[in-house]
Copies of this chain bind each other. A is one copy, B any other.
Amino acid sequence: MIKVGIVGGTGYTGVELLRLLAQHPNVHLQAITSRTESGIAVSQMFPNLRGRVDVAFSEPTVENLSACDVVFFATPNGVAMKQVPELLDKGVKIIDLAADFRLKNPAEWQQWYGMAHASENLLAEAVYGLPEVNREAIKTARLVANPGCYPTAVQLGFLPLLKAGLIDSQTLIADAKSGVSGAGRKAEVPTLFAEAGDSFKAYGVAGHRHLPEIKQGLTSIYGQPVGLTFVPHLLPLIRGIHATLYARLTADVADIQALYEQTYQHEAFVDVMPAGSHPETRSVRGANMCRIAVHRPQGGDTVVILSVIDNLVKGAAGQAVQNMNIMFGLDESTGLSQIALLP
């Protein structure tokens, strides 16, 4: 059994990790920490876990965590970068669901997250945990930076065309829509039901923190810098990301559909849907899955890729468990066989 710790388990990625780990056959939940809720039973805060997870939150001390084989950080940005070094020193593997180790450039981190990086020396070592891109590196990683939700949907969508060099890399557009759980379990006016419900809007058009992460990832996939316009929107639903991606073809492609199917044919968690499909976010609700469809409207030069994930699963906790499975030599699908809830 893998001894697992979770730091900061009171948010939505925390409860989602618990839902998945409680059903994982190789995991023993060693500790879940929360400074504010220490002593409170986890199932008191999240009644869906009653009878299934009977641990209580504890203080996030090194002692509580160093006995773990792996520790997931489900903390706000800026916490993991301070605590990770000591745990790594104790031989604990780390999967950080926050953004601390995603950007390779500490100046870029500081620009977008508004604070100096506390562990610059670890940025080179940290492996960006998108298994479909970095599986080999994840296998031996001590420190995995779990990708953001938008970045997962957008990168998996662009990857085949970009890798094949078939599109104009400088005019990429990602029009992305996310459910409100992406904003986390923080008491804030804009995500109140009466504010975010029955309405729809874009936000962060001038620049969203996931922009540099996506550009870094796409640049890495493509081998050269890419140009991207990224516009996130807030959906009046709880779980789900839908990325509508636009790219201009620069070469004649015999069969884009086949390209996508071949690229992902051995991937358990990327589903290329039949030609003409329109994936729905509900088709991945609660499941560790990215469903993709490709279109070329009216046979023109613009290709449209539709990519959906559950932001809390393939966009966060599920992908984190997938990374854990890879890091510990388990079958990658272990504990991740949940079928999406429909309707």
Contact = CB atoms under 8 A, between A and B. Distances in A.
Contact of A199 (B171, B281, B306): B281
A12 B193 CA distance: 13
A252 interface: no
Interface string A260-304: 000000000001010011111111111100010001011010101
Interface string A135-172: 00000000000000000000000000000000000010
A1 interface: no
A254 interface: no
A194 B285 CA distance: 14
A187 B185 contact: no
A192 B230 CA distance: 26
A283 B341 contact: no
Contacts of A233: 177, 242, 244
User: What is the count of identical protomers in the complex?
Assistant: 4
Interface stretch (A85-93, A201-209, A322-330): A201-209
A23 B193 contact: no
Interface string A215-253: 000000000000101110101111110101010100000
A331 to B, nearest CB: 15
B171 A202 contact: no
Contacts of A63: none
A196 B198 contact: no
A48 interface: yes
A205, A206, A277, A341 — which one has the most chain B CB atoms within 10 A of its CB? A341
A51 interface: yes
A194 to B, nearest CB: 4
Contacts of A195: 185, 193, 343
A238 B199 CA distance: 9
A180 interface: yes
Contact of A197 (B183, B238, B278): B238
A192 B287 CA distance: 23
A236 B239 CA distance: 12
Contact of A51 (B173, B183, B207, B271): B271
Interface stretch (A96-104, A115-123, A126-134, A332-340): A332-340
A227 B235 CA distance: 28
Given A48-B341, A48-B342, A177-B233, 16 more contacts: A19-B342, A47-B273, A47-B280, A48-B340, A51-B271, A173-B246, A187-B189, A193-B195, A193-B238, A199-B240, A202-B244, A202-B278, A206-B297, A229-B297, A229-B302, A233-B242
